[in-house]
Amino acid sequence: LEPKEEFEHSSLAVDVMRPRRSDPALAVLTQEGMTVGEVEVRIQKSTHYSGFPVVVSQESQRLVGFVLRRDLLISIDNARKRQEGVVSASQVVFTEHAPAQAAEAPPPLRLRGIMDLSPFTVTDHTPMDITVDIFRKLGLRQCLVTHNGRLLGIITKKDILKHMAQIANRDPDSILFN
């Protein structure tokens, strides 16, 4: 067993992840069913996020991948300029196969290629010392938090640095994150 002191400092992924209880919900994209226009609104509304988890559906919150804001902006911009017929009403699809749609519907914009298909995840009850270790060893920028397969939140490197600073303030002798 670990020495008792370590347990006293140990916070869990759920304590560090965003959104906080009072924050707006996690900004996600669904793997199908959103239009180019809707995705653009989502990106514009959340200018301070560098990426978006992609989920099967809002109801399931089952994680499919992670897409960087920068890559989304570039792909949409390119598609609007070059891809024949891609307009605001075009469906954005992250699935392998394009969904069936009406013959008169505008062509879909397929974005599976820019999605990270295996973003790193931890469960909500993973101790932060383990999460920090993973961030260090794998050089992660962010990691997603799940509970029973449902996406709950996100932890970025900066979130961890802030959390470490808070612990150091509260308890300058803490050796957990040294």
Q: Which residues bind ligand ADP (CB under 6 A)?
A: 18-19, 26-27, 48-52, 154, 156, 158-159
The span from the CA of 104 to the CA of 107, in Å, is 9
Q: Which is nearer to ligand ADP, 86 or 160 (CB)?
A: 160
Q: How far is the CB of 27 from ligand ADP (least distance, A)?
A: 4
Is the bond into 53 cis (omega within 30 degrees of 0)? no
Instruction: Decide whether 86 or 131 has the Cβ nearer to ligand ADP.
Output: 131
**Neighbouring C-alpha atoms within 13 Å toward the C-beta of 98:** 13
Tokens 């300058």 map to which residue? 172
Q: Which residue has the tokens 């075009």?
A: 90
* Residue (26 or 79) nearer to ligand ADP, CB: 26
Least distance in angstroms from the C-beta of 127 to ligand ADP: 18
Minimum distance of ligand ADP from residue 43's CB (angstroms): 10
151 within 8 A of 26, measured Cβ to Cβ = yes
Minimum CB distance to ligand ADP, residue 5 (Å): 28
